[in-house]
Amino acid sequence: MLVKVLFSLFILFSTSLIGYIYAFRYNHRVQQLRHILHGLQLLETEVLYSSNSLPEAMKRVGERSHSSIANIFLDTAECLFSRKGISLEDAWGRAVEGLGAYSSLQKIDQEVLIDFGKLLGTSDKENQKKNFHIVTLELQKQQKIAEEERSKNEKMCKSLGILAGLAIVIVFI
């Protein structure tokens, strides 16, 4: 009897944990988009209103950004400082793709960032300002979508985890 109770508690705990992990991914995407928007605002300030070079601006923004997204800026700066003949577009694209494996960002979020990197540093300050504005609007749109998905799916994932555990326990009892 004790084994059944322990087994039931283990199953219930495990499935609940799985549900909470899936729910966390929705919340994490919203947070990461918020951090990326903040980082891009810092980069815009560095690029438009500071006399620092782009690699130096990337490094400074990476040092001041949230740890979950700082590598986009730091990796780009490192590639540019290394002078291996890597273009800004390629360095930025690699950094964004490298973050994708460790983040909750979706493909569309990464595509928006990669497209931004294609235009970064290729025009005058006025056009750069427009590019920052466009990427900010697009990421805010994605953030709103992510918040809607979170509000719709977060509670469902948690509930499904608990209910799946209860269903398994009932079947085995």
pLDDT band at 173 (very low <50, low <70, confident <90, very high): confident
Mean pLDDT value across residues 18-22: 92
- Please report whether residue 2 resides in a domain: no
Task: Check: CB of residue 91 under 8 Å from CB of residue 106.
Answer: no
- Please report whether residue 32 resides in a domain: yes
pLDDT of residue 19: 93
For residue 39, give its domain range: 11-172
pLDDT of residue 46: 87
- Please report whether residue 4 resides in a domain: no
Report the half-sphere exposure of 25 (CA within 13 A, side-chain side): 14
- Please report whether residue 22 resides in a domain: yes
CA nearest neighbour of 119 among 108, 109, 133 = 133
Mean pLDDT value across residues 9-16: 94
pLDDT of residue 61: 92
In the chain, how many domains are there?
A: 1
pLDDT tens-digit map of 87-145: 888 888 888 888 877 788 889 999 999 999 888 877 788 888 899 999 999 999 999 99
Single-letter code of the amino acid located at 81: F
- Please report whether residue 5 resides in a domain: no
pLDDT of residue 127: 86
C-alpha 138: how far from its chain's center?
14
What is the rounded CA–CA span in Å between residue 24 and residue 44?
Answer: 30
pLDDT tens-digit map of 21-68: 988 988 999 999 999 999 999 999 888 888 778 889 889 999 998 888
- Please report whether residue 93 resides in a domain: yes
pLDDT of residue 144: 96
74-78, 81-85, 126-130, 169-173: least confidently modelled range:
81-85
- Please report whether residue 65 resides in a domain: yes
- Please report whether residue 63 resides in a domain: yes
